[in-house]
């Protein structure tokens, strides 16, 4: 009986460890997605600013006509 109890406890511990690992992987994945979103937003802002600067230069030199 003691052997069965030990095996049961070992199985419970293994299951808890697997769940904890899964939760940590989910958190890491969410963090990666958050960083990707931030980078994409920053890239879009830089692109918009560069386009505005290019349009201002074109306007100054008369290239928009």
On whether the CB atoms of residues 65 and 58 are closer than 8 A, the answer is no
pLDDT tens string 48-58 = 999 999 999 99
What pLDDT is attached to residue 1?
Answer: 59
Report angle CA 34, 36, 39 to the nearest 5 degrees: 110
pLDDT tens string 17-60 = 999 999 999 999 999 999 999 999 999 999 999 999 999 999 99
Task: Say what the pTM is.
Answer: 0.63
CA-CA distance, 58 to 3, in Å (whole number)?
82
Token pair listed for 44: 């879009």
Token pair listed for 50: 């560069």
């Amino acid at each position: 009986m003691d052997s069965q109890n030990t095996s049961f406890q070992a199985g419970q511990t293994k299951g808890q460890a697997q769940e904890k690992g899964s939760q940590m992987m989910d958190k890491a994945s969410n963090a990666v997605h958050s960083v990707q979103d931030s980078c994409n937003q920053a890239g879009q802002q830089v692109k918009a600013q560069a386009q505005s600067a290019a349009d201002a230069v074109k306007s100054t030199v008369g290239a928009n006509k």
